[in-house]
Chains A and B, each alone.
Chain A
Amino acid sequence: MHLTLEKLAPFLGSYYLVLAVMNAVFGYFLWEHKKNIRQAVFWTVVAGAFTIMASIAYSGQQKLMELVSLPEAFRGFVDGNLANPALYTIGTSAFLVTMFLFRKVLVQPVVAWGLLVLALLLMGLSMADVQFAEIVTKPDNVPIVAMVFLLGYFTWLATAQAVKNDERTARGEDPLEKLNNEKILVWPDLVYTELICMVAVTAVLTYWAVGLQAPLEDAASSVKTPNPSKAPWYFLGLQEMLVYFDPWMAGVVLPSTIVAGLMAIPYLDFNKAGNGYYTINQRKFAYLVFQFGFLELWVTLIILGTFLRGPNWNFFGPYEQWDAHKVVALNNVDLSQFFWLGLVGYMPKAPDGASEIAKFGWILWRELPGIIVVVSYLALLPPFLGLTIFRGFYKRMGLIRFMVMSNLLLMMMLLPIKMVLRWTINLKYLISIPEYLLNL
Chain B
Amino acid sequence: MPNLGEVIRNSQIWKSIFRHPMPVDRRNRIVVMLTNFFLHLHPVSIKKQGIALSYTWCMGGVTFFLFLVETITGVLLMFYYRPTTEWAYMDILSLRDTASLGILRELHRWGAHAMVIAVWLHMYRVFLTGSYKPPREFNWVVGVVLLLLTLLLSFTGYLLPWDQLAIWAITVGSKMGAATPFLGAEGPGSMLLQVGSIPMITGASDARFGLLGARFVGEETLNRFYVLHCVAIPLAVALLLAIHFWRVRKDGGISGPL
Chain A residues proximal to chain B, CB less than 8 Å: 140, 143, 146-147, 150-151, 154, 157-158, 161-162, 174-175, 177-191, 193-194, 197-198, 201-202, 205-206, 208-210, 212-222, 224-226, 229-232, 234-235, 238-239, 246-248, 250-253, 255, 259, 262-263, 265-267, 269, 272-279, 283, 286-287, 290, 294, 433, 436-439
Q: Which of A188, A202, A209, A215 has the most CB of B within 10 A?
A: A209
Contacts of B140 in A (CB 8 A): 263, 265-266
Query: Could you count the A-B residue pairs with CB atoms below 8 Å apart for me: how many are there?
Result: 270
- How far, in angstroms, from A273 to B134 measured CA to CA in the complex? 11
The one of A213, A250, A278 in contact with B129, judged by C-beta atoms closer than 8 angstroms, is A278
Residues of chain B lying within 8 A (CB to CB) of residue A143 = 110, 113-114, 116-117
Compute how far the CA of A276 lies from the CA of B251 in the bound complex, rounded to whole angstroms: 12
Binary contact track B144-181/A, C-beta < 8 Å → 1, others 0:
10011001001100100111111111011101101111
A437 to B187, CA, bound (A): 6
Residues of B within 8 A of A150 (CB): 117, 121
A290 touches B256 (CB 8 A): no
Interface majority SS on A: helix, strand, loop or mixed?
A: helix
Kindly list chain B residues whose C-beta atoms are within 8 Å of the C-beta of A277. 129-130, 256-257
A145 to chain B minimum Cβ distance, whole angstroms, is 11
Report whether A278 and B257 are in contact in the complex, using a CB–CB cutoff of 8 Å: no
Chain A residues, CB < 8 A from B238:
none
User: Is there contact, CB below 8 Å, between B175 and A222?
Assistant: no
Range of interface residues on chain B? 35 or more
**A217-B164, A277-B129 are known contacts; what are 10 more A-B pairs with Cβ within 8 Å?**
A177-B256, A187-B23, A193-B58, A208-B110, A212-B110, A222-B216, A247-B179, A252-B176, A262-B147, A276-B130
- Residues of chain B with a CB closer than 8 A to A147's CB: 117, 120
Give 8 CB contacts A-B under 8 Å.
A154-B124, A201-B69, A206-B103, A220-B162, A252-B176, A252-B187, A265-B127, A278-B128
- The reply to whether B106 and A212 contact each other, CB–CB distance below 8 Å, is yes
Q: What is the chain B residue whose CB lies nearest that of A283?
A: B130
A224 with B164, Cβ < 8 A, contacts A193-B51, A247-B176 known? yes
Answer whether residue B232 sits at the interface, using C-beta atoms and an 8 A cutoff: no
Q: 1/0 contact trace for B87-131 toward A, CB 8 Å? A: 001001100100000010111011101101100110011011111
Partner of B133, one of A161, A174, A253, A269: A269
In the complex, chain B residues whose CB is within 8 Å of the CB of A220? 85, 89, 162-164, 166-167
